Amino acid sequence: MQVERYKVGLPSRLVPLRKAGYAFLGEKKQAAVKICYWTKKYIKGGEACYKQAYGINSAQCIQMTPNAEYCNNNCVYCWREIGRFKKSMHDYEDPDVIIEESVKAQKYLLQGLKGSQHAVKERWLESQNPRHFSISLMGEPTLYPLLPELVKKINKNYSSFVVSNGTQPEMIERLSSTQPTQLYLSFNAWDANSFAFISRNKNPNAWNAFIESARLLERFKRTVFRMTLAKKLNLQNSDKFAELIEKFQPSFVEVKAWFPLGSSRSRMNPSQEPSFEEISAFAFELEKLSSFERVFTHKASKVVILARKDMKNKMKF
C-alpha cells in the first residue's frame, strides 16, 4: 500500500488530521483509522490498554470511526476539534469498504514499527492480524445511517465495541438487532442541567434521548456506562450517578479520568485532571451506593471498572 492512498483526494480541512496520523478511507473520506497510543506502546513492549480486562489484545485493536466529521454533542472535555463537527450526515461510505479499508490502513500505519529495535516481533506480527474494531475514534457513530449493517458485517470476523453519546435512541434500538460485542454509553452527567452544561447539545430533549437509550441497554448482552470525570465539572454527586447506575443496570461501569489532551485544553484547565487516587475514591463511593463491585483497575489510564454482580466473572467475552 502506498502512502499516496491517504493523500489523493483528501479535502484540505482534513490534511492536518492526516499529518497527525489519521488515515481517511474510501471515496467519501468520512471513515477514518488512527493507531491508538496503547497499541503502539504494547507493540514496543510496554503495558497493554485497560481493555485487556475484556480480553482485547492491544496489538490487534483497530481504533476507527465510520463518520469522522459528524457529532451532535460539543462536550466540554472532548479532545477533538469540536468546531469541525457537523450535526447530520448526508455522505457516507459503504460498510464493506469501511471494514476492508480499515484493516488495510491499520496494517499500513503500523509498518513503521516492523523494523523498530523497540518493537517486540511477536506483538508486531499479531498486529498484522487485527481481531477487534473499536468504533470510538471521533464523531458520533449512531449518526452513521448504516451502523447496524456495519456492526453485523464486522461481527462475522471480528469483535466490535461501539461507543455512543446515547442521544440517538432510534439507532440504539436498531443496533440491538445486530448486537455489537459491547455497547458503551458515555455517562458523564446526572440530570438534564448537568447534561446540557457538559455535552453542550443544543437539542432541549437530548437528556431525555439519553435516558431512552439507557432504557434500551437491557436489550444488549454486554453494556458499559463510560464515565469521563473532571474536577469542578462532574467529579461529584456520586449518589445521583449511583441511582442511575442502579436503575439501568449496565454490565460494567468504567470510571475514568479526564486527561488534558488536544482541544479540551482550550476549554478546561489542566488542574481539573483528577489523580488516580481521586478516581479510585469516587469509584469506591459508587460501590458503596450501588450493588456494583470493583473488578479491575489500570493506574496508567486512571480507570476503575465496576461490574454488575452477575458479570463479575464474565469480563472477557
**pLDDT 10s digits, 90-137:** 789 999 999 999 999 999 999 999 989 999 999 999 999 999 999 999
| pLDDT averages per 10-residue partition of the chain, 317 residues | 63 86 92 97 97 98 95 90 62 95 96 92 97 97 97 99 98 98 98 97 96 99 99 98 99 97 89 98 99 98 98 96
Task: Give the model's pLDDT for residue 89.
Answer: 67
Task: Give the model's pLDDT for residue 282.
Answer: 99
Question: Would residue 316 count as lying in a domain?
Answer: no
- Kindly list the distances between the CA atom of residue 214 and the CA atoms of 165, 177, 317, in Å, as whole numbers in the listed order: 10, 16, 21
Whole-angstrom Cα distance, residue 187 to residue 226?
A: 5
Angle, CA of 262, 66 and 74, to the nearest 5°: 40
Task: Give the model's pLDDT for residue 299.
Answer: 98
- H-helix or E-strand spanning residue 295: strand 293-298
What is this structure's pTM? 0.94
Question: Would residue 156 count as lying in a domain?
Answer: yes
Task: Give the model's pLDDT for residue 1.
Answer: 41
Structural domain boundaries enclosing 74: 3-311
Angle, CA of 144, 214 and 81, to the nearest 5°: 45
Residue with cell 488530521: 17
Question: Would residue 64 count as lying in a domain?
Answer: yes
Task: Give the model's pLDDT for residue 256.
Answer: 98
Task: Give the model's pLDDT for residue 88.
Answer: 61
Question: Would residue 206 count as lying in a domain?
Answer: yes
Number of domains the chain contains:
1
Of 267, 186, 265, nearest in space to 229 by CA: 186
Whole-angstrom Cα distance, residue 179 to residue 192?
A: 28
What's the CATH number where 260 sits? Answer: 3.20.20.70
Question: Would residue 13 count as lying in a domain?
Answer: yes
* Grid coordinates of 154: 464486522
Task: Give the model's pLDDT for residue 3.
Answer: 47
Question: Would residue 317 count as lying in a domain?
Answer: no
Q: Which residues of 168-194 are buried (b: 16+ CB within 10 A; e: fewer)?
A: bbebbebbbebbbbbbbbbbbbbeeeb
* Grid coordinates of 291: 450493588
Question: Would residue 34 count as lying in a domain?
Answer: yes
Whole-angstrom Cα distance, residue 9 to residue 199?
A: 33
